[in-house]
């Protein structure tokens, strides 16, 4: 067996440039690198896109989107939120008008029921999971809905091991059962929602026995979850990528939200909806406007008074239409209408579905600037590489977590070499392109944001310090709002209740990449506790836990293929082939395999995944590919 050591990346310590892509990089001064970057980007006005960093601060994301909108005149700005929770934001916005998770971590400790749906929080959100465990200790019951019996599921009272991509049948059957058992919260449905009758008709065919057939979960277990959720006094429904990373991710999210509307488990202390966001600041990146359809404060670009407010504040003209999202920017590269990219702290060469295609598109750009803390595979494709300080521990500012809590972060260690803060680099580039923004420090950026975003206005740095972080919305400098959103839905006066929350009328739509005789195994991909995303940031430390990449199979499948732990096999999908050693895991069932995205330099899992995107959110179906596994011929014995 070949020994696979995860690749380690060295921190970037000085700028790198090259005259053509065939040449190696050479070290450059900041002045030369910035002049080149400004020339290359400036020449691409009208065909420019920006990827902004979900790990860097709010202040950095605010300045980055301002660079795209003011300096480059475009709304083409996005981040890895697109590969991840964009369907949650789209689904929650459609239902409630705002895309944030509705409750706080504290409420998870004071609830009666926790449903972890398509979420392996024990591995991926270990801090949040501490709150879950406290909730369980306080008497909450927990259910896990996941094709794998994950480490999270091991803590649950009941594990519903559904087939990949059958969440809508499961949710609809739960909804139907709640209605038929007379457990719907009729009063809430009437006062706060719209479209109930259509929803009732939509879910009517989804009997427990039909759902059992489609999902593979026994009818009795589905019924039990339906009754437990509807009868609970307070309930938290948490979901993550098992729901969103599908070609119909937004529909999946709507199907879950429907259950909260049916039971009134939203808008009250202890009852809510929690999409656990991915990176430390992916919530903040979107809030700061580093997305193509929203200005800072999650304000709609299509709204003329909103645009006017920002045009006045920034002395500019804002394009009156949505920009391209990350997925659409990659498509525009193919069509050659997007010619230059400024990529800050993202590694799409390894994180995009069908990575071979993504790399080909990045290579074909006229100009690529990468600003990162490591020389990633994406950076290796660039014309100019700019070394940044890390948003964590090397930079002052704020970040916003999954419960919408804005918290201060501080520079505590000296950055390596000539690395500079993201904000300073962006501002220097802006200045070279004719926009002289003067920010004394991160707080000055934050105060500019406060002046244009009502939801953030009440959060001065001083108050953030005093309260150890504050959740948005916080429009008032003297008051704090409730920890949960949408309390208005419970108001007795219809005028205070505002807009009704519509049921999502969504249909089951199985994964695009069908399994068949040639590709008989369903591959789902995700995370392990010991590694982070494309491995750039977590590859550098030794861990007894980290065992590199494997294709994980259940014992029955391993036996069927005649393979043992550590044996290298060929894994192929309709898009590509990789070699990976086998791991045997009883968390899986026959016909289901699991791989991570953590070791792309050793095993490039995303050569296998399919770029089938959710038409509403642009998120790819990372969670469902069809593969085949082939045993390699025995090596020739040399005597
Ligand atoms: N240790 C660690 N933590 C991380 C990260 C990391 O790389 N490493 N990355 C961060 C990021 S960016 C994110 S977005 C989050 C992601 O956090 P999670 O979403 O919890 O992580 P995943 O492992 O990608 O997927 C979650 C689960 O979805 C299940 N699943 C697959 N298909 C389906 C399906 O069809 N239906 C259902 N119901 N479930 C399904 C998988 O079996 C898996 O257990 O984690 C964050 N935290
Ligand atoms: N097969 C498969 N693929 C997936 C997924 C999956 O579940 N399965 N999940 C998807 C998801 S949810 C996500 S979020 C994406 C993640 O995809 P990416 O965001 O492309 O991958 P990361 O490895 O998180 O890259 C983060 C980069 O940010 C840099 N960085 C960190 N901090 C800073 C900073 O302060 N400033 C700057 N300038 N740079 C910084 C790091 O060095 C690193 O290069 O992957 C997606 N791809
Ligand atoms: Mo993510």
Tokens of 373: 């803390």
Q: Whose CA is nearest to atom 3 of ligand 1?
A: 124
Shared domain for 131 and 269, answered yes or no, is: yes
| Position with higher pLDDT, 95 vs 1 | 95
Shared domain for 35 and 145, answered yes or no, is: no
The span from the CA of 244 to the CA of 254, in Å, is 10
Q: Rounded mean pLDDT of 498-520?
A: 97
pLDDT at 457: 98
Strands 521-526 and 592-596: parallel
Shared domain for 550 and 465, answered yes or no, is: no
3-state secondary structure 278-329: CCCCHHHHHHCCCECCEECCCEECCCHHHHHHHHHHHCCCCCCCCCCCHHHH
Percentage of the chain lying above the pLDDT 90 cut:
94
Shared domain for 270 and 327, answered yes or no, is: no
Shared domain for 309 and 437, answered yes or no, is: yes
Tokens of 295: 């200005």
Q: Please, which pLDDT band fits residue 212 given cuts at 50, 70 and 90?
A: very high
Q: Rounded mean pLDDT of 565-581?
A: 97
Tokens of 65: 């989107």
Q: Please, which pLDDT band fits residue 1 given cuts at 50, 70 and 90?
A: very low
> pLDDT (tens digit, 9 = 90+) per residue, 88-134?
999 999 999 989 999 999 999 999 999 999 999 999 999 999 999 99
Query: Locate tokens 């300096």: which residue?
Result: 71
Element (H, E) at 433: none
Give me ligand 1 centre to Cα 517, in Å. Answer: 28
Strands 299-300 and 340-344: unpaired
Evaluate whether residue 508 is within a structural domain.
no
Shared domain for 552 and 627, answered yes or no, is: yes
Q: Rounded mean pLDDT of 29-43?
A: 98
State CA 341 to chain mean position distance. 21
> pLDDT (tens digit, 9 = 90+) per residue, 342-378?
999 999 999 999 999 999 999 999 999 999 999 999 9
Q: Which ligand is nearest the CA of 346, by number?
A: 2
Evaluate whether residue 105 is within a structural domain.
yes
Strands 193-194 and 340-344: unpaired
Atom of ligand 1 nearest to the CA of 277: 14
Q: Does ligand 2 lie within 6 Å of residue 372's CB atom? A: yes
Which of 55, 124, 255 to mutate to test ligand 1, by most ligand atoms within 8 A of the CB atom? 124
> pLDDT (tens digit, 9 = 90+) per residue, 157-177?
999 999 999 999 999 999 999
Give me ligand 2 centre to Cα 397, in Å. Answer: 20
Q: Which ligand is nearest the CA of 121, by number?
A: 1
pLDDT at 639: 67
Tokens of 574: 């309709």
The span from the CA of 33 to the CA of 118, in Å, is 44
Give me ligand 2 centre to Cα 146, in Å. Answer: 23
Shared domain for 238 and 311, answered yes or no, is: no
Evaluate whether residue 506 is within a structural domain.
no
- Residues with C-beta less than 6 Å from any ligand 1 atom: 84, 117-121, 123-124, 145-148, 150, 164-165, 167, 240-243, 278-279, 524, 526-527, 529, 531-533, 623
Give me ligand 2 centre to Cα 300, in Å. Answer: 26
Rg (CA), the chain: 24
Shared domain for 219 and 121, answered yes or no, is: yes
Evaluate whether residue 483 is within a structural domain.
no
DSSP 190: H
Q: Rounded mean pLDDT of 209-237?
A: 98
* Residue where one domain finishes, among candidates 276, 300, 323: 276
Which of 89, 533, 611 to mutate to test ligand 2, by most ligand atoms within 8 A of the CB atom? 533
Range of the domain at 391: 17-81+280-471
- Cβ-proximal residues to 565 (8 Å cutoff; 6+ apart), any chain: 558, 581, 582, 583, 584
Tokens of 489: 């839905």
Shared domain for 395 and 308, answered yes or no, is: yes
Which has the minimum average pLDDT: 204-208, 301-305, 491-495, 619-623?
491-495
Q: Are 28 and 623 in contact (CB under 8 A)?
A: no
| Position with higher pLDDT, 2 vs 455 | 455
Q: Please, which pLDDT band fits residue 541 given cuts at 50, 70 and 90?
A: confident
What percent helix, strand, coil does the chain show, rounded to 5? Answer: 35, 15, 50
Evaluate whether residue 163 is within a structural domain.
yes
Evaluate whether residue 408 is within a structural domain.
yes
Count, residues in the chain: 639
> pLDDT (tens digit, 9 = 90+) per residue, 45-63?
999 999 999 999 999 999 9
Q: Does ligand 2 lie within 6 Å of residue 388's CB atom? A: yes
- For the chain, what is the domain count? 3
Q: Are 571 and 577 in contact (CB under 8 A)?
A: yes
Nearest to 332 by CA among 576, 609, 44, 72: 44
Q: Does ligand 2 lie within 6 Å of residue 398's CB atom? A: no
> pLDDT (tens digit, 9 = 90+) per residue, 63-86?
999 999 999 999 999 999 999 999
Q: Is the pLDDT of residue 466 over 80?
A: yes
Evaluate whether residue 516 is within a structural domain.
no
Evaluate whether residue 10 is within a structural domain.
no
CATH number of the domain enclosing 399 = 3.40.50.740
Q: Are 17 and 26 in contact (CB under 8 A)?
A: yes
Q: How many CB atoms lie within 10 A of CB 170?
A: 28
Atom of ligand 1 nearest to the CA of 121: 20
pTM, whole model, 2 decimals? 0.96
Q: Does ligand 2 lie within 6 Å of residue 611's CB atom? A: no
For the chain, give the longest Cα–Cα distance. Answer: 87
* Residue where one domain finishes, among candidates 276, 302, 323: 276
pLDDT at 4: 57
Q: What is the DSSP string of 217-234?
A: S-HHHHHHHHHHHHH-SS
Give me ligand 3 centre to Cα 435, in Å. Answer: 33
Atom of ligand 1 nearest to the CA of 594: 42
Which of 121, 161, 281, 526 to mutate to test ligand 1, by most ligand atoms within 8 A of the CB atom? 526
Nearest to 277 by CA among 474, 77, 121: 121
Shared domain for 572 and 620, answered yes or no, is: yes
Q: Is the pLDDT of residue 5 over 90?
A: no
Q: Is the pLDDT of residue 544 over 80?
A: no
Beta-strand ranges (E) seen in 292-349 are 294-295, 299-300, 340-344
Shared domain for 31 and 156, answered yes or no, is: no
Partners of 143 in the β-ladder: 115, 158
Give me ligand 3 centre to Cα 125, in Å. Answer: 11
The span from the CA of 391 to the CA of 373, in Å, is 9
pLDDT at 543: 74
CATH number of the domain enclosing 614 = 2.40.40.20
Q: Please, which pLDDT band fits residue 635 given cuts at 50, 70 and 90?
A: confident
* Residue where one domain finishes, among candidates 276, 308, 342: 276
Shared domain for 199 and 340, answered yes or no, is: no
CATH number of the domain enclosing 239 = 3.40.228.10
The span from the CA of 349 to the CA of 585, in Å, is 29
pLDDT at 49: 98
Torsion of Cα atoms, 130 then 132 then 138 then 140, to 10°: -160
The span from the CA of 148 to the CA of 146, in Å, is 5
């Amino acid at each position: 067996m070949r020994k696979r050591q995860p690749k380690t990346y060295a921190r970037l310590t000085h700028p790198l440039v090259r005259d053509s892509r065939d040449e190696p990089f050479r070290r450059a001064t900041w002045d030369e690198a910035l002049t080149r970057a400004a020339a290359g980007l400036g020449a691409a006005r009208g065909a420019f896109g920006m990827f902004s960093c979900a790990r860097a601060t709010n202040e950095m994301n605010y300045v980055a989107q301002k660079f795209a909108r003011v300096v480059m005149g475009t709304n083409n700005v996005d981040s890895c939120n697109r590969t991840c929770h964009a369907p949650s934001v789209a689904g929650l916005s459609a239902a409630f008008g705002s895309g944030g998770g509705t409750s706080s971590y504290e409420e998870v400790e004071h609830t009666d029921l926790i449903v972890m749906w398509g979420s392996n929080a024990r591995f991926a959100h270990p801090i949040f999971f501490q709150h879950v465990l406290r909730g369980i200790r306080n008497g909450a019951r927990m259910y896990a809905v996941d094709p794998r019996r994950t480490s999270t599921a091991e803590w649950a009272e009941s594990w519903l091991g559904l087939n990949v991509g059958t969440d809508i049948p499961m949710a609809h059957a739960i909804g139907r059962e709640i209605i038929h058992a007379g457990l719907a919260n009729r009063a809430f449905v009437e006062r706060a929602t719209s479209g109930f009758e259509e929803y009732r008709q939509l879910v009517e065919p989804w009997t427990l026995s039909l759902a059992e057939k489609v999902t593979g979960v026994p009818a009795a277990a589905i019924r039990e979850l339906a009754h437990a959720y509807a009868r609970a006094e307070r309930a938290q429904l948490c979901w993550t990528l098992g729901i969103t990373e599908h070609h119909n991710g937004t529909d999946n999210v709507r199907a879950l939200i429907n259950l909260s509307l049916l039971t009134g488990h939203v808008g009250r202390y202890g009852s809510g909806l929690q999409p656990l966001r991915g990176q430390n600041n992916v919530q903040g990146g979107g809030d700061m406007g580093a997305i193509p359809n929203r200005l800072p404060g999650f304000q709609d670009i299509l709204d003329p008074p909103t645009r006017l407010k920002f045009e006045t504040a920034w002395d500019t003209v804002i394009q009156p239409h949505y920009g391209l999202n990350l997925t659409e920017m990659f498509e525009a590269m193919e069509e050659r209408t997007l010619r230059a990219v400024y990529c800050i702290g993202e590694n799409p060469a390894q994180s995009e579905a069908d990575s071979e295609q993504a790399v080909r598109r990045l290579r074909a750009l006229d100009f690529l600037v990468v600003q990162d803390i490591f020389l990633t595979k994406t950076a290796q494709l660039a014309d100019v590489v700019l070394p940044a300080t890390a948003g964590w521990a090397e930079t002052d500012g704020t970040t916003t977590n999954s419960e919408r809590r804005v918290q201060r972060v501080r520079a505590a260690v000296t950055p390596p070499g000539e690395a500079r803060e993201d904000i300073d680099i962006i501002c220097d580039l802006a200045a070279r392109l004719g926009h002289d923004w003067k920010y004394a420090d991160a707080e000055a950026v934050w105060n500019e944001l406060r002046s244009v975003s009502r939801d953030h206005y009440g959060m001065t740095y001083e108050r953030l310090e005093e309260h150890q972080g504050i959740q948005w919305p916080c429009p008032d400098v003297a008051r704090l709002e409730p920890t949960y959103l949408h309390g208005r839905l419970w108001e007795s006066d219809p005028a205070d209740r505002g807009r009704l929350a519509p049921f999502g009328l969504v249909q089951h739509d199985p994964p695009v990449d069908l399994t068949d005789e040639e590709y008989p195994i369903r591959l789902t991909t995700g995370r392990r506790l010991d590694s982070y995303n494309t491995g750039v940031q977590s590859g550098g430390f030794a861990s007894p836990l980290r065992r590199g990449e494997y294709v994980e199979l259940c014992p029955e499948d391993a036996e069927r293929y005649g393979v043992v732990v550590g044996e290298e096999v060929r894994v192929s999908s309709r898009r590509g082939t990789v070699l990976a050693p086998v791991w045997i895991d009883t968390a899986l069932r026959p016909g289901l395999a699991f791989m991570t995205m953590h070791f792309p330099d050793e095993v490039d899992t995303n050569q296998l995944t399919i770029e089938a995107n959710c038409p509403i959110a642009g998120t790819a179906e990372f969670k469902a590919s069809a593969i085949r596994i082939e045993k390699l011929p025995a090596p020739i014995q040399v005597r």
